[in-house]
Amino acid sequence: MAKLYFSYATMNAGKSTLLLQASYNYRERGMRTVILIAAFDDRAGTGRVSSRIGLSDEGIPFTHEDDLYALIERLHGEETVACVFVDEAQFLGEDQVWQLARVADRIGIPVMAYGLRTDFQGKLFPGSMALLAIADELREVRTICHCGRKATMVVRMDADGNVVREGAQVDVGGNEKYVVFCRRHWEDVMKAD
């Protein structure tokens, strides 16, 4: 039975690298994959999945308006789809997570979603909340804090290197950067004066 998988992590853990490698493994065997890329708002992105170590591939950008079940059903009708991958899955809508669950349950295509668990304030993203709730399998992609512990949290820094403690979940078009920490050091940084 096909499943809905959610691989989650904080920033810069290598989620896109894993996605691209897994997709390649299918394609190497002559199987078709579809890579979907969630946009953080209703503006479609470029459709390119890029990893920090230099891999990249074309994907299909989508917004909150798109019915992903209908999209995959149509693509699968044209040519068999062996697996669906979703990058930036934290930006899925709850209804879209259900659409992906139906892709697994009713069309029988496995769906592998990759995304951030929480934002810079330690709050769940909507897509991640729904995936954590209903995915068949959860997988944590690990990266480490400067102290060597598992990093699960992220701090947003503005262009001048100041820690950002409040603001929108997604900083559209900003010059911010993100640094990952374990929970203890994230709390130290966020609570510091």
Residues 164-193 that bind Zn ion (CB under 5 A): 182, 185
- Is residue 88 part of the annotated active site? The answer reads yes
Query: What CA–CA distance (Å, rounded) separates 64 from 97?
Result: 11
Separation in Å, CA 27 to CA 22, 97, 163:
9, 24, 42
Helical H runs in 29-87?
68-78
Q: CB of residue 55 vs Zn ion: minimum separation in angstroms?
A: 28
Single out the residue of 147, 168, 176, 177 in contact with Zn ion (rule: CB under 5 A): 147
Pick one of 100, 113, 145, 179: the residue that binds Zn ion (CB under 5 A).
145
Identity of the amino acid at 46 = T
Q: How far is the CB of 42 from Zn ion (least distance, A)?
A: 37
> Is 50 labelled a binding residue?
no
By CB under 5 A, residue 10 contacts Zn ion? no
Q: Which of 178, 88, 169, 83 is nearest to 128 (CA)?
A: 88
12 assigned to a ligand binding site: yes
Cα separation, 101 vs 96, in Å, equals 9
Query: Is the CB of 3 or the CB of 146 nearer to Zn ion?
Result: 146
Catalytic position from the list 58, 73, 79, 88: 88
β-strands 177-181, 153-157 pairing: antiparallel
- The residue among 74 and 184 lying less far from Zn ion, judged by its C-beta, is 184
Backbone angles phi, psi at 177, to 5 degrees: -130, 165
Q: Return d(Cα 126, Cα 88) in angstroms, integer.
A: 12
Q: Which is nearer to Zn ion, 144 or 168 (CB)?
A: 144
Binding residues for ATP: 9-16, 87-90
- The residues annotated with a catalytic role in the active site are 88
Residue numbers at the binding site for Zn ion (CB under 5 A): 145, 147, 149, 182, 185
